[in-house]
Amino acid sequence: MSGAPAETVARLIPLLEPFNKTGAHLSAATRFTEDLNFDSLIVMEFVAAVEDAFDISVPLNILPDVATVGQLAAAIEKILGEEKS
């Protein structure tokens, strides 16, 4: 998942802002669990916000493989690509 799409990362950061309780610096490298202390409930709320903003459904299946903001951006790109097809 090299080269996280910068534009998508840039859209994700303001969505993440309200969930940033640790005051961590937000970038493609920010880790949800270690840096932001996300638990399963916060993940659910944040994913719902992302789904609304991008007008997509994020399957539960991909969440275990998404540890950083960059990885989430890449996953969103992939979903957007598939929904168009």
Q: Which residues bind another protein (CB under 8 A)?
A: 39-41, 44, 48, 55-61, 83
Whichever of 27 and 57 has its CB closer to another protein, that residue is 57
Whichever of 29 and 48 has its CB closer to another protein, that residue is 48
Neighbouring C-alpha atoms within 13 Å toward the C-beta of 28:
15
Q: Which helix (H) or strand (E) holds 57?
A: none
Shortest Å distance, C-beta 83 to another protein:
6
Distance CA 66, CA 52 (A): 19
Shortest Å distance, C-beta 31 to another protein:
16
Residues in the chain: 85
